[in-house]
């Protein structure tokens, strides 16, 4: 019988390190994506930067083939999770329990809609901590996520042997 202690030990081997070309594309993609949305935000005065977008870059450029990195998941997950946070904020205010309920609901809805994007899981918490208005759903959430995907479409398709996305809908 496997005990909890046995489970906590792990036992699997460390995954192999990515090759230098993969690391270079990932780092470049993250740099370009954040630079684009930060520069657009700075020059237009339109808020496009969201803290969770940094983690989105890790997936988009470091692991572009996984389901969490596909456009449907990135854009849909961010919008859905922010929407859930805004709904809970509007209904219950920013409390410890409404934050927790919003987080659980966002996870469940992303799973139900097959739009899971782990970085978007922080959006309900961000909403509760900052208490933005409904415009937050469009700017920075939707427009920022779409800009990240646009950069990913360019950067991930430049190197030979890479093709992004694997699917849209």
Predicted local distance difference test score (pLDDT) of residue 123? 98
**Higher-scoring residue by pLDDT: 94, 45:** 94
Q: Cα 70 to chain center, whole Å?
A: 10
Tens of pLDDT, residues 123-167: 999 999 999 999 999 999 999 999 999 999 999 999 998 999 999
- Using CA atoms, how far apart are residues 51 and 34, in angstroms rounded to an integer? 10
Is residue 163 in a domain?
no
Residue 33 lies in a domain: yes
Q: For residue range 58-106, list pLDDT tens digits in order.
A: 999 999 999 999 999 999 999 999 999 999 999 999 999 999 999 999 9
Residue 87: per-residue pLDDT: 98
Is residue 10 situated within a structural domain? no
Please provide the distance, in angstroms rounded to a whole number, between the alpha carbons at the two ends of the chain.
Answer: 43
Number of domains the chain contains? 1
CB atoms within 10 A of CB 41: 18
The domain in which residue 112 lies consists of 20-155
Tell me whether residue 126 is in a domain. yes
């Amino acid at each position: 019988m496997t005990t909890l202690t046995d489970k906590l030990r792990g036992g699997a081997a460390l995954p192999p390190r990515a090759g230098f070309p993969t690391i270079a594309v990932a780092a470049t993609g993250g740099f370009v994506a954040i630079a684009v949305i930060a520069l657009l935000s700075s020059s237009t005065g339109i808020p496009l930067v969201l803290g969770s977008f940094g983690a989105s870059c890790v997936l988009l450029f470091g692991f572009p083939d996984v389901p969490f990195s596909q456009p449907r998941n990135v854009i849909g997950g961010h919008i859905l999770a922010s929407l859930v946070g805004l709904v809970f904020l509007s209904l219950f205010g920013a409390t410890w329990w409404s934050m927790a309920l919003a987080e659980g609901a966002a996870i469940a809805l992303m799973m139900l809609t097959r739009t899971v994007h782990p970085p978007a899981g922080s959006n309900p918490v961000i909403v509760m901590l900052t208490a933005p208005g409904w415009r937050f759903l469009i700017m920075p959430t939707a427009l920022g996520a779409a800009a990240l995907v646009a950069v990913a479409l360019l950067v991930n398709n430049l190197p030979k042997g890479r093709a992004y996305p694997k699917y849209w809908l």
